Structures are given as structure tokens and as C-alpha cells.
Structure 1
Amino acid sequence: MLNRRTLLAASGAVLAASTLARPNVARAAAPFQQPPLPYDQNALAPTISARTVGLHYGKHHKGYFDKLNTLTAGKPYAELDLEEVIVRAKEQGDTAIFNNAGQAWNHNFYWQQFAGGPAEAPAALVQAAERDFGGMDGLKKKMVETGDGVFGTGWVWLVEDNGKLALLGLQDAGNPIAEKKRPLLGIDVWEHAYYLDWENRRTAHIQAVLDERVNWGFVGDQLAS
């Protein structure tokens, strides 16, 4: 398992972001290191095939770490945690660094949320979903709709915002940390995440991932932390 750690307050924006709970992702040292995949490549099949996982993790996810290390070599960013890089790069308008750091972190979270799953949602998450979406089915329905509404590449995120569940449809490397929201669940809607298995049926892919692959216990842990 990957270890939890807190975001260091290196700037005002980082201090604000540090109030958010962190997923169980490893500290990104310099050079930044891609965490191991927490299961075999065929563990998510047939919803997400071994071929897709191999390309997604081994090529795309790895590529973000490789590019981030190149971009940050010899710069102060190389001494920061990955979350700090995301916040500071957005603050300073370092778009390339933000994009690769954001995608590196997004994928760390993405793979981890399937570990040990699928699993049922804990009571506290079910209650929150009933309050904010009319139930778990309502949450899933709205998440599919939000993901379908992301134009082009991006992510759909379930987050905690001011004590309530909310959804964010973010383009490209969009990241809840940069939006100062607590991430609970993230579905990648870049085509490399689903096209080999689902072709252009993005909404069917999102629905299947929510129904068949998400460890809702992990989501509940993020909400409770």
C-alpha cells in the first residue's frame, strides 16, 4: 500500500490546500517516482482490459513522470512534494509542469481507488449520497452525465466541498487539489483510458467502472479522513 502524508505549507495557496484530506499516495521524491501498480494488469478485466492497463500505466502514466522529471531538473520544483508542485505550478503559470504533475498525481489516485475492489459503499458515504444526490444510483447517474459533458480530454471527480459531495468535470490535467477540493473518486475520460475496450462509448465505460471496479470503501475512507 502507498503511505499517507500531508501537504507542506510552502505558500499561501499550499497552506489552503493542506486542509484537504490526502489519498494514500506516496511522497514524490526528486526525481519523482511512479508508484507500482497495486495489482496485476489483468485485475480490472473485463471492464478495463490488461492491454489498456498496460498502455495506460506503462506508457501514459509513466510518460507524465518522465516528462515531469525532465521539466523540473535543476529547479526548486524538484525538491517539492507532487501536490506542492501542482499548486505552485498553477500559481506561477508553469503550464507544462502543472499538466505533467497533475496527470502524474491523478493517475496515482486513479489506480489506487480500484485496489481491493469492487466493494460496497460504507454507511457514511451512502448517507452523504442520499443527501446530495438522492442515493448512490443518483450519484453514479450524475457522475456519468458530468463525465460525458467534459469536452475532449479530462477527468470527472467526486469531491467533498464545504461538507457536501460535489462533482467536477475538469479538462486535461484538471485536479481537485488545484481547485482546493477534497478528492474522493476520479474517472479518467481521456480516450487512452477506455478506447481500446469501449471505443467511443465513454458513458458506458464510466458507468461500468462505477458499477464494477470502484472500491467504494476507498472512497469512504477519503471522505472520513
Structure 2
Amino acid sequence: MAFSLPSLPYDYAALEPHVDATTMNIHHTKHHQTYVNNLNAALDKFPELKSVGIVDLNKAVNTDKIPADIKTVVRNNGGGHYNHSFFWKIMTNPSNTNGPMGDLKAAIEADFGSVDEMKTKFNAAAAGRFGSGWAWLGVDEAGKLHIESTPNQDNPLMSHLPDTKPLFPVLGLDVWEHAYYLKYQNRRPEYIAAFWNVVNWEQAAENFKAGKEHKVLLDGAPAPKM
């Protein structure tokens, strides 16, 4: 079955004034749709892969499970599809964001010292990513939180990546210029700071809970296994 563009859980203007409606519309209907289209086109050549979920497809990147002639396309566009599907859900209307609570807050304080220190390190990872990429907060198999930055459309599910630790994503921020340039131009740190005003901490808590159980949420439920 072909992959499809997921609907947003809010309207395009819901993240204003921190993320503008025009950027959200273009980002969702143009950029994300292109990743979906390119991924489907690549998998048309190998229809047996169409039954593999997007999470396991990302985990299989750079393994012999993905044929050599579509490895790069799947890495870039399968990564883009997963990353953006994750990204839309980790944001919410500013009126709905109240900061981390419960087990996630306790884990952040245990692993980073404070929520503010976690944000500082996350911001540094996002700002320090040269060119296009992502910043991530994720949990490892031992239940410990880490911050990573990945290039392009790579993500922590792709365990082959150099200088990174395989993680179950909890938070992710897109720092490609198309995510912020209309509003923030070259002021990436300003965009990064604004992100904290739209974080869906309830979703982050669910991601953290699933990650501690070595699961990855997909549309609110654990992703099916390959």
C-alpha cells in the first residue's frame, strides 16, 4: 500500500505567531508531499517493500533489506516522511503547551539537571547543525535521554549513522531553511527559541513512555514490526 500525506492535527494558522500559516501550508503540502511522492515512486520498483511500515523502513536504511539502487532515495524520502509525520504531532497551539510533566520531566531533570539545561543543549544542537538537518531529544534502550543532531532527513531510528546513538525519538525540530525562512530569514536561533512555545508536551510524554518500552509511536499506536 502506498504511503500518503497525513492530515495535520490543527489548521495551518494554529501555531501563529511562532510558526506562520504560509510556511506551514507550504511545508506540509509541498515539501512533505514531495517526500511521500518520491518514496512511493521508489517503492514501485520493489512492491514487496510497500507493506513495510515507515518506522521499520527507516530502521532498515543502509541495510541489505533496502535494494542498493533505491537506498539513497529511501533514506532521504523515507526519512523525510517519518520526520515530518513526527514533527507535525510534536507541535500544538501555544495555548496548549504547559511544559513537561510527570515521568518525562523527572527524566529530563535526572539526565540534564533541569528542563532549562535540556533546552539549552537542544538549542545548541539545533543551531550548530551545519546546513540542513534536525535536532532530537530521544531515549535509549536503557531509558536515558540524549540529545542528537542529524543531517538532511536522517533520524535516530537509522542506527547506522556515525557519531550517533540509536534512540527512540521524543522531540524533534526541523532546522531546514524551508521550515522557518519566510518568517525568520537567517535567524535560526530565533526560530529555535520560538519552537518551545508550540511543543506538544503531552505527545512528547507519550513518545517517552513508548520509547522506554522500546516502541515507536505511529499514529498514536506502536508501529507494527517488520
TM-score bucket of the superposed structures, by smaller chain: 0.7 to 0.9
Partner residue of 1:57 out of 24, 28, 50: 28
Specify the alignment match of 2:173 in structure 1: 187
Letter in 1 for 2:6: P
Letter in 2 for 1:175: N
- SS of residue matched to 2:107: helix
Specify the alignment match of 1:108 in structure 2: 85
Q: Distance in 2 between matches of 1:171 and 1:141?
A: 20
1:4-31 C-alpha deviation (Å, 9 max, x unpaired): xxxxxxxxxxxxxxxxxxxxxxxxxx21
Letter in 1 for 2:23: T
Q: Which runs of 5+ in 2 are unaligned?
A: 160-165, 211-226
Q: Distance in 2 between matches of 1:97 and 1:144?
A: 28
User: Is 1:32 aligned to residue 3 of structure 2?
Assistant: yes
Shift of 1:120: 2.5
Partner residue of 2:12 out of 35, 41, 46: 41
Shift of 1:36: 0.6
Specify the alignment match of 1:7 in structure 2: none
Specify the alignment match of 1:18 in structure 2: none
1:112-143 C-alpha deviation (Å, 9 max, x unpaired): 11146323311212211111112111111110
The two structures have a TM-score, normalised by structure 1, of 0.83
User: Is 1:120 aligned to residue 90 of structure 2?
Assistant: no
- SS of residue matched to 2:150: strand
Q: Distance in 1 between matches of 2:102 and 2:59?
A: 33
How many aligned residue pairs are there? Answer: 195
Shift of 1:90: 2.2
CA contact (8 A) 2:137 2:171 kept: yes
Q: How well do the aligned residues superpose, as a CA RMSD in angstroms?
A: 1.3
1:142-194 C-alpha deviation (Å, 9 max, x unpaired): 10001111110000000002221101100001111113311000000000001
**Structure 1 stretches (4+) deviating beyond 6 angstroms?**
none
Q: What does residue range 1-225 of structure 1 map to in structure 2 within 5 Å? A: 30-75=1-46, 76-92=48-64, 94-115=71-92, 117-161=96-140, 162-179=142-159, 180-210=166-196, 212-225=197-210
Give the direction of change, closer, same or farther, for the CA distance of 1:86–1:77 in structure 2 (3 Å limit).
same
- SS of residue matched to 2:137: strand
Letter in 1 for 2:205: G
Specify the alignment match of 2:215 in structure 1: none
Shift of 1:35: 0.9
